[in-house]
Structure 1
């Protein structure tokens, strides 16, 4: 075999692989938009100071529910669930969960739980949220969850 045929063959395989991964990633993104995320347990609650600003850290168990009739599977090396961002109804960032996992499978019409996800909240936003709860103007439905997924090294918000 000549080097030219090897290079052309490798190029065709690379292009086909790229389109296959792109299709799989698009399917993962489409299905993940239906996945519901529920907190189930809080562990290792702590208050720390960083550069003069106080923040709260804790580990959170998160239940992922797949209400669709398709199995949700994100077991590609090219796809990593990086972070989960929590916003209030005013679009203020409440906190960040650092996940960094690339192998999530949720059965059809089923659920799975991710354990010990580290969460960090700024104490200022925690205080304003507590005040909102006291004033009864806060509802868990008002929390918007945004996920950051890394696909082939590029981050996407879902």
Structure 2
């Protein structure tokens, strides 16, 4: 992958998860903690377990983790692993330990993804997977933020 494109992809992935850099935003709010990790920071397991239109913030968070895992496996092995998409939505309630485990898993997959952006031997399939993962994660960032508006009243 061209170095300019690689750096651009990494910048947008970081904005999705960590929030925008100090100099402004490409697509999130230009405020601290506007990325997935900032939005989830300090969220209790009770809040993460509240149902909004049949799903929970915990389920969305674990679904992002699962999708990133699939992306990481695709980048490592060159093909997508068998994935059970329905299973990625089965979380209805979590306790603090489960909630912390989901968030730690998401951070781990995120760190792995950033490393793979640098290390992968790129082809069109892997590039499509990476860009799709970025778009998918950004979509869920928006969904989580909208769900929070509902649960916070």
TM-score tier by shorter-chain length is: under 0.3
Greater share of strand residues, 1 or 2? 1
Which fold has the larger relative contact order, with Cα–Cα distance below 8 Å and residues 6 or more apart in sequence?
Answer: 2
TM-score, length basis structure 1: 0.23
Larger radius of gyration: 1
TM-score, length basis structure 2: 0.24
